[in-house]
A and B are shown apart, each in its own frame.
Chain A
């Protein structure tokens, strides 16, 4: 395995109390594999990614437990100096909002070239040449001329390509993409997603794709991990999960989205609201909203059960859920 997150716990100290954002997350990504991490806002999907990258704000954040193994080393045990060398060179991140992730007062050429200057000790001139190559690779037209442009001079789709170019610069083994196409229009979204998938295949990178969009996941992922209230509630190969979800939350999500290929009747709606991280319900965090909830769900936290077919589900009644689906 390229990346393995084991029993990760992260909390934030806020004025109102301790927000438990991540409560024991396990996931793994292999070489050339795409893992989609799906969840709604506040499910802990981005916080987990930030902990993996080592860009969590500490304080107020605090990693209270767990391990993050990357290429055989536990990242949480490495000194910051070592992690800096890994970040960018061996694992890179693509953010949702390229406009705020890029530096507005530097040209895109300078920002792309900086990767080579800092990590590879190249001269500015060589780095500039590499920057043009990269922009070509992510198919930015007239790259040689545009390398001197500033981020605001590019369209949203082009800026996201620059972010991808920057992440790919040093050919890392792992890319974490946090909602990479959420801010883009649907026709541009398709272009960017295709580019990302193509480059991933070419370089056989591992890709962690963080998203809330069940459609995007179905298009590109190999495996999928669904998060709720800071835990993984279901993990499965993507075909199996869509065909027969083994957790009532996943099932609710799948049923509550309108479909492009059908004019539906009333939508199924999961009742209630996602829990506050300051006050996560006892037992199974989903029980107040779950149509299958019983007494045991109110008291016992369900472990991540093994489900046949290399799947896992954190539901006491995963068997019933599978059969109902």
Chain B
């Protein structure tokens, strides 16, 4: 097995809700991320899926240190980066880069493409000697499939897909080990999405990158990821290999999520069972007791309101070595096939 490059333990991010102007007192908290654990192995792609508000983007931002966690650890090669500051933090950051969702707002409109892609070298001058930078930028543009002659153009002169390539080139500049990509293709048209996904896969094998791939589109995640974690209201409810999650899900939320995805095959309409969840996701200021999914779960019983189910291999499957034996936070976990096999 490959070595772990990132180990996340008990990660928590709460945003306080305050009342009063002069004497602020805390009246509650938005529990955006509420205890997340996972490990990222060298060179693999870990997908994190979930609906809006489940905390997946907050996790991404904490991984690259754009947010300080309220509690928990993020270990990069054994070192807890949440405690670092100054020079030590800067050194670590070189190795964990981010690609953002919206290629229209994540590039400075007043900088040329060359300046955008070259900016990481300004911050980390040790990565490339000064005279070398121009050439490095052109090389990077070529790697992501852009014309190196366009180095003096501005972002508005490019299409959405090309801009996302610029964002990826910037992320690659410092030769990081890990790239955290937050919905990197969801703003793109279908025909352009495939181009960017193929590019990301090619770069991964070329540079040995590990990806944390955050997305809400379950089909894309299956395509690109080796392992997948499903988040609900600030926690991972199920995590396993791509086939464990898609072909042998045991958590009811994962099953509902998968069954709701429209499949581009009109023939599947008849013989596909759909689990339609009732209601909406509860507010992260007011998380249900016990299992946080119980308010929408068709299996919920008394125990679910009292005990928080741990993220572990459920009792039922502990003896088995089959694909259902993976971590799932449900008291009544049951294997159920919801994605029809081909």
Residue ranges of A at the interface with B (Cβ–Cβ < 8 Å)? 40-41, 155, 157-158, 185-191, 193-194, 212-219, 221, 238-239, 242, 252-254, 256-264, 266-271, 273-274
Contacts and interface: CB of A to CB of B under 8 A. Distances in A.
Contact of A269 (B51, B195, B219, B224): B195
**When A and B form their complex, which 9 residue pairs have the shortest distance between CB atoms, in order from nearest?**
A215-B262, A258-B223, A185-B51, A256-B194, A269-B194, A190-B260, A214-B264, A40-B189, A267-B194
Interface in B225-262: 242-243, 246, 256-258, 260-262
Given A185-B216, A267-B223, A270-B191, A262 B342 contact: yes
A247 B150 CA distance: 34
Centre residue among B261, B264, B340 by max chain A CB count within 10 A: B264
Contacts of B218: 186, 260
Contact of A218 (B243, B258, B268): B268
A40 B191 CA distance: 8
Given A215-B262, A274-B189, A274-B191, A258 B219 contact: yes
B295 to A, nearest CB: 13
B198 A266 contact: yes
B155 interface: no
A274 B224 CA distance: 25
A239 B190 contact: no
A214 B340 CA distance: 18
Interface string B44-73: 000000011000000000000000000000
A186 B195 CA distance: 24
Contacts of A257: 190, 193-194, 219, 264
Contacts of A189: 260, 262
A292 to B, nearest CB: 16
B194 A260 contact: no
A263 B191 contact: no
Nearest to B161: A273
B276 interface: yes
A258 B261 contact: no
B269 interface: yes
Interface string B307-342: 000000000000000000000000000000001111
Contacts, number: 133
A248 B274 CA distance: 32
Contact of A185 (B52, B159, B193, B266): B52
Contacts of A263: 222-223, 242-243, 246
Contacts of A268: 194
Given A218-B265, A257-B264, A187 B277 contact: yes
Contacts of A262: 222, 342
B241 to A, nearest CB: 10
Contacts of B246: 260-261, 263
Contacts of B276: 187, 190-191, 194
B156 to A, nearest CB: 13
B220 interface: yes
A187 B262 contact: no
A234 to B, nearest CB: 15
Contacts of A252: 191
Interface string B275-299: 0110011000000000000000000
A261 B190 contact: no
Given A239-B267, A267-B197, 11 more contacts: A40-B190, A186-B51, A187-B276, A215-B219, A215-B261, A215-B263, A216-B262, A217-B264, A242-B266, A261-B263, A261-B340
Contacts of B257: 186-187
A161 to B, nearest CB: 11
B223 A270 contact: no
B52 to A, nearest CB: 6
B12 to A, nearest CB: 23
B201 interface: yes
Contacts of B111: none
B230 to A, nearest CB: 12
A239 B161 contact: no
Given A187-B51, A269-B191, A259 B280 contact: no
27 contacts: A185-B52, A186-B261, A189-B260, A190-B262, A190-B276, A193-B262, A212-B189, A212-B190, A215-B262, A217-B264, A218-B269, A219-B266, A256-B191, A256-B193, A256-B194, A258-B194, A258-B220, A260-B246, A260-B339, A262-B342, A263-B243, A264-B223, A266-B201, A269-B194, A269-B195, A270-B191, A274-B191
B188 to A, nearest CB: 9
